[in-house]
Structure formats: C-alpha cells, structure tokens
Amino acid sequence: MTNTVRWGILGTGRIARDFATALHDTPGATLAAVASRERTTAEAFGDELGVSLRLAGYDSLAACADVDLVYIGTPHAMHAENALAMLAGGKGVLCEKPFALNRAQAEQVVALARSRRVFLMEAMWTRFMPALAEAKRILASGVLGEVSQASADFGFAATGGPEARLFNPALGGGALLDVGIYPLSITTYLLGAVESVRAQAELGPTGVDLQTVFTLRHASGALSTCACSLKARTPGLLTVSGRDGQLRLDAPFHRAPTVTLTLAGESPRAIPTPYLGNGYVHEAIEAQRCWTEGMIESPAMTHEQTLHLMGVLDEIRHQVGVRYPGD
C-alpha cells in the first residue's frame, strides 16, 4: 500500500467538481480517474480538473485497478445503485448525502460493505468541519449548562422546470433530501438520536416537498426545530441553547467560518473556525485515514448513524406525503 490514496470521481456535476477541486488541497490524495455515462462529459471534466484517466460508464470505474476510493456525486436516486457497484468492485466509497432514497436502500449498501469488509461513509462534510468539532468541545465543557433546545435552517430559492433534479421525484428531488438532511444530521449529532419527529410540508406540482419544517425529540431529552426550503433564502444558522447560554454555528452553518458563544451576562464571543480549501477537504482526509487504516466506517459518521438518519427521513416523508419510485 502506498502513502498516496488514489481517488476516482463518479459523476461530473457541480458537487463532483467541488470535491475534485478539494482533492487538490488534500494531503496524500491524487485524483486518478473520473467516470461519466458519456465519454464527452468525462473528457470535459478531465480537461477542466486535470484528470488523466477519463472513463465512459460507471462499471469501468468499479473495475479500475488504479483507484482506491470512489467519491459518488451522482443524483440522489442513483446513490445506492452506484455504491453497490463500487463496493462490489472492491472500492472504498464516500457517497454524497443523502446516502440513498430510503432506509431500505441504505441497508443494502451497508450490508454489502460489511460483508466485503470495504470502507463506506456518507459524505456529510459538515461532520468533519472545524466548526462542528469546536461546537462539540464547547458542549462537552458544560459551559451552556443543561442543553434543551436547538434550531437550524437551510433554504434557498431554486430554479428549474419539473424535470430539473431538485423538482423531479424520479431523481429524489425536494428540499428535505437536498438540504433538510443538513439540519437533521447536525442537530442529531449534537443532541443525540431522534426518538420522535413531527413534520409539515408544502408540496409542489411534481409531488416533492418545496419546503418542510420538522420538530425532533432527541435521546438527550432536548427538542429541536429544523426547516428546509427550495423557495426561501433562509438565514442558514444553527443554534444550540442551554440554561446558561447559547452557541451558534454562524451562517452558513454547514461550513461555518465562526461559532458564536453567548453566556448569560456576557457579550457574544466569536470563535474563528477556518477550514481547508473549499471545506470538502476534511471529509476526504477522514475517508483516507479510515481506508489507510483498514477501517470499514468512520467513528464520526458510522453506518448506524446513516441508517438512523435515513429512517427519520423516511418517517418525515411518510408524514408529509412525499413518495419516490420504489418506495
């Protein structure tokens, strides 16, 4: 095994470009290959981002001997199928969020990774950012006293017709899976597993949710309110509140440049939390560490945590009436 981890990128959309860019800033990483359904898009991606090996068809990446880890950046509805193919080819997998369309799909992927003893992780990049590590440190210090509430939002004004990825149910469209996963994942990480959830949503003409608001009761006893939208440009903040003060992951909270601590009787104090590159570097470093050490999951984003979150997403969609093909 060499000291350099050879990455393959599956998909050539915006988020695949963002991750490929991050690999140039990731110690010990080399971007070895890109695969697309069409050779022309793989060639254009390779020219833009300096990837020498451009592959037509996803199966060719699974069989490529020059790749160790694969980042999956395809539309949501393809995640499970793509992950299964890469794992079957013996590749470690970093799969973009949401991990799958539902828990049943996610269970199949996790089962294969475990049976083959191959690394698998959901690419929830916020989990590995310095801001979240600082938030965990502050909460563990007890300075907020008993923590009982949190709130988080993520929304933007999306454009596109009914066939566009964000509005197309066949592609796993909707606010919940695209951006609602962020407040769900991070509040759960900070406050504990979800014991119950209540949700309301506004559905669009194609049947996906244009905006969803949900409340969570966590295992810690704390409550959180989470909102996501494809219609509104929301503040993008996450705040955790306790008896003695509050801690805020400043906007945009999923890649917060600072966290602000406000204790009773004191002025707010902003704590810088700079991150490497465009932010995706940190999850790439963690994936490489786990793969190099022969681990099949990250302790910061375990298989069970991913399955738990997928189950909560299923329950929210059931409550608001969003259905995808195969549900």
pLDDT, tens digit, for every residue of 179-207? 999 999 999 999 999 999 999 999 999 99
Distances (CA, A) of 298 to 273, 276, 286, 288, 314: 22, 20, 7, 10, 23
97 is catalytic: yes
Average pLDDT of the segment spanning 230-254: 98
Report which of residues 93 and 327 the model is more confident about. 93
Of the options 3.40.50.620, 3.90.105.10, 3.30.360.10, 1.10.287.110, the CATH number for the domain spanning 130-274+309-320 = 3.30.360.10
pLDDT in tens, 48-63: 999 999 999 999 999 9
Sheet holding 258-263, edge to edge: 194-203, 209-218, 223-229, 147-155, 238-242, 245-249, 258-263, 269-272
Answer whether 5-125 and 130-274+309-320 agree in fold: no
Q: Does the pLDDT of residue 79 top 70, yes or no?
A: yes
Domain ranges of the chain: 5-125, 130-274+309-320
CATH of domain 5-125: 3.40.50.720
The answer on pLDDT for 150 being more than 90 is: yes
**CA 7, CA 2: separation in Å to the nearest integer?**
13
Which residue in the list 91, 97, 136, 231 is annotated as catalytic?
A: 97
Predicted pLDDT of residue 199: 98
285 phi and psi, to 5 degrees? -60, -45
pLDDT band at residue 2 under the 50/70/90 scheme: low
- Beta-carbon contacts of 240 under 8 Å, excluding residues fewer than 6 positions away, are 135, 139, 144, 147, 149, 150, 190, 191, 246, 247, 248
Contacting residues for 266 by C-beta, under 8 A, at least 6 apart: 245
Closest CA relative to residue 91, chosen from 61, 124, 125: 61
* Non-local CB neighbours of 294 within 8 Å, separated by 6+ positions: none
Q: 152-183 pLDDT, tens per residue?
A: 999 999 999 999 999 999 999 999 999 999 99
pLDDT of residue 260: 98
Whether residue 147 is predicted with pLDDT greater than 50 in this model: the reply is: yes
Mean of all residue pLDDT scores within the chain: 97
25-51 residues labelled b (16+ CB within 10 A) or e (exposed) = ebeebebbbbbbeeeebbbebbeebeb
- What gap in Å lies between CA 55 and CA 62, rounded to an integer? 11
The number of C-alpha atoms within 13 Å of 221 and in the hemisphere containing its C-beta is 4
Q: Are 132 and 126 in contact (CB under 8 A)?
A: yes
Query: How many whole angstroms separate alpha carbon 210 and alpha carbon 289?
Result: 38
The pLDDT of residue 1 is 41
